[in-house]
Amino acid sequence: MTIKSGERMPEGKFKTMGDKGPKDLSTAELFSGKRVVLFSVPGAFTPTCDAKHLPGYLGLADKLHAKGVDTIACMAVNDVFVMNAWGKQSGVGDKVLMLADGNGDYARALGLELDAKGFGMGMRGQRFAIVVDKGVATHVDIEAAGQFKVSAAEHVLAQL
């Protein structure tokens, strides 16, 4: 079942890169008492994700924070090392939190898996953006196949 606006975000965990290596980050830590924009890409370094999706959030980070967003988080079904390398290469710094959903468990919990086997990428997460307020999804925007509109930073900013 796909997450909908007004529903509580499912429990789960991600991997992030810390100073001493990979570490777990629970959804409770991520969402508790905060307003978070969680956006998902099918894969780090893939064309639209790398050229448009992540750069859009980097470019609008200050405006999103000015609208009350505490954390901007990018999720992908990639391992923590790939997400860390992509974040470094993209210069995310502390503007975007890079979340590895290595086995796709959180994408599956959201009901937003993507079968990308036809592209040689296995099971991934769909392209989406969710605004989360204290653990509750307030806006859920899921892209149609092959599209990049409703999960873009500009679209999310216009909804806040």
Contact 14, 30 (CB under 8 A): yes
DSSP state of 106: H
Quote the strand ranges of the chain, DSSP E: 13-18, 21-26, 35-41, 71-76, 97-100, 113-115, 123-125, 128-133, 136-142
74 is an active site residue: no
Report d(CA 95, CA 5) in Å as an integer.
25
Q: List the beta bridge partners of residue 136.
A: 8, 133
Directed axis angle between helix 80-90 and helix 54-66, to 10°? Answer: 80
Residue among 123, 141, 144 at smallest CA distance from 132: 141
Task: Determine which one of 37, 38, 41, 49 is catalytic.
Answer: 49
Active site residues: 49
